[in-house]
Structure 1
């Protein structure tokens, strides 16, 4: 999280993934709520539509290597060198998560079930939470503290889905959390790492030789207080926009079937419905016996 480019690229990944997951899960739920069961990833036909998954498989190891390269070459405080290593490990864990999802969806195996993948996803988000804003204080610390809260929402949603995969509201929170993280990462990059969009009276985040932690330099204390108030206000605006977007998309899908993402179709969703029907039919058969 050392530059605007890092935040912008992360936002480009998270926002579309969150939107796509929200569209797919909502479409599947609206088609038949009684048969709804969350999927770790909503794949579709043809395969080229799953570009987000393939891009992540390629981009995440590159990002992890970049962070590790900074860890090896950074000549500043040891704290920051260790922070780069932690961030590299967090990105690597998410890459392993994507590999697990891909492996499970392409190969029939009982070793990797959906509950295990969701638990691993929840742990991945918790690892990310532990490194978010590491070594950053002041106004920057407020921004990353709010980002950490969104990460905990995603982690909690994943862990709950590992227990109750039929809970649509948990999938809804996970999708909205990914969208929110995408928009807030872009806002953090603009507010903390650019001079144009920096808080009035403050400069972009920097590390001075005399400092142990990175911080946004403000000319006066009142500028710093105004910056904190502005960040909290912007977070509220983002929350309202994401809420309106997520609810609006859901009602749009519910009112018009033509807008539903593939109408909940696809080989994996068809397989999902057949499995759910068998699970619901099993208790009835036992009762008859």
Structure 2
């Protein structure tokens, strides 16, 4: 249950943050695509609406201390886990430092950090997280966690690209969708690998087996293992399609909402056209 609780708590953090980031960035992009600039965090004017940002400053240190406690409790029993929990706590600490950096920049900003530096620090945090994903897990379980590592790399490279070109909405789209995807896939891993109720047929939940130092996803037969891995790959594709459809639906709703608020079509090209029609230039005489 501890593993399932960890995966569920990660879902509770990642999914709303990624969804909120997608909605805020898409709304900002639809208002004026030519002036769009991605932000490290889309803060609201009122402080209480930034509840997710300030809640991370409390949740992440608690998670970091829990990982350190597990490191001290299990490092002596399983040598493979000796540094796994410590490395995971270091990754969580990196994201906590990122949250503090965003808060300082938005409110205090004593060192005048720019958005590019914040995105680079976020990319480094994702790379650190990638280095510890699936640590101490072997066999088919490690292969399934490699899919989660691929999503983490997408977020890392998106942050690196946004540090160079903050006006790229596609990089912002991959970052926000990657966070949502990470949240749903972590929840899927928690249900499929760490529970018997939602587990796969013929496979047992992830655990440390006797005479082994690493956790492994065991199945009764080789056919069950191959079928279970194929089902997980199919679920991964299903998550990707569902998130892509959700992104398109949300983007369409935001676009229609912007059109209703504007009352009519708007944009820089239309503004130039209206200026030409209202203030026409000198007539061109044909010889």
Smaller-chain TM-score range? 0.7 to 0.9
Which aligned pairs between 1:167-206 and structure 2 lie closer than 5 A? 167-206=168-207
Q: Residue deviations 1:144-165, cap 9 Å, x none?
A: 1000000000000000000001
Cα displacement (A) at 1:47: 1.2
Cα displacement (A) at 1:213: 2.1
**Corresponding pairs, count:** 260
More displaced, 134-143 or 94-103?
A: 134-143
Cα displacement (A) at 1:224: 0.4
1:122 equivalent in alignment to 2:123: yes
Cα displacement (A) at 1:93: 0.6
Q: Residue deviations 1:99-129, cap 9 Å, x none?
A: 0000011124454211111000000000000
1:236 equivalent in alignment to 2:240: no
More displaced, 109-118 or 222-231?
A: 109-118
1:85 equivalent in alignment to 2:86: yes
Hey, what's the Cα distance between the residues in 2 that align with 1:257 and 1:21? 17
Cα displacement (A) at 1:251: 1.2
- Report if the CA contact (8 A) 1:70-1:81 is conserved: no
Aligned to 2:156: 155
Residue 129 of structure 1: SS of its match in structure 2?
helix
Aligned to 1:96: 97
Cα displacement (A) at 1:209: 3.4
Hey, what's the Cα distance between the residues in 1 that align with 2:247 and 2:100? 28
- Report if the CA contact (8 A) 2:191-2:199 is conserved: yes
- Report if the CA contact (8 A) 2:181-2:243 is conserved: yes
RCO (CA 8 Å, sep 6+): is it higher in 1 or 2?
Answer: 1
Cα displacement (A) at 1:141: 1.1
Aligned to 1:28: 28
Cα displacement (A) at 1:2: 6.0
Q: Residue deviations 1:241-274, cap 9 Å, x none?
A: 00001111111111222899xxxxxxxxxxxxxx
Pairwise CA RMSD: 1.6
Hey, what's the Cα distance between the residues in 2 that align with 1:196 and 1:249? 33
Aligned to 1:9: 9
Q: Scaled by the length of structure 2, what TM-score is found?
A: 0.88
- Report if the CA contact (8 A) 1:252-1:259 is conserved: no
More displaced, 250-259 or 9-18?
A: 250-259
- Report if the CA contact (8 A) 1:60-1:95 is conserved: yes
- Report if the CA contact (8 A) 2:209-2:216 is conserved: no
- Report if the CA contact (8 A) 1:202-1:224 is conserved: yes
Hey, what's the Cα distance between the residues in 2 that align with 1:97 and 1:71? 23
Residue 256 of structure 1: SS of its match in structure 2?
helix
Structure 2 segments unaligned to the other structure (5+ residues): 262-287
Hey, what's the Cα distance between the residues in 2 that align with 1:112 and 1:31? 26
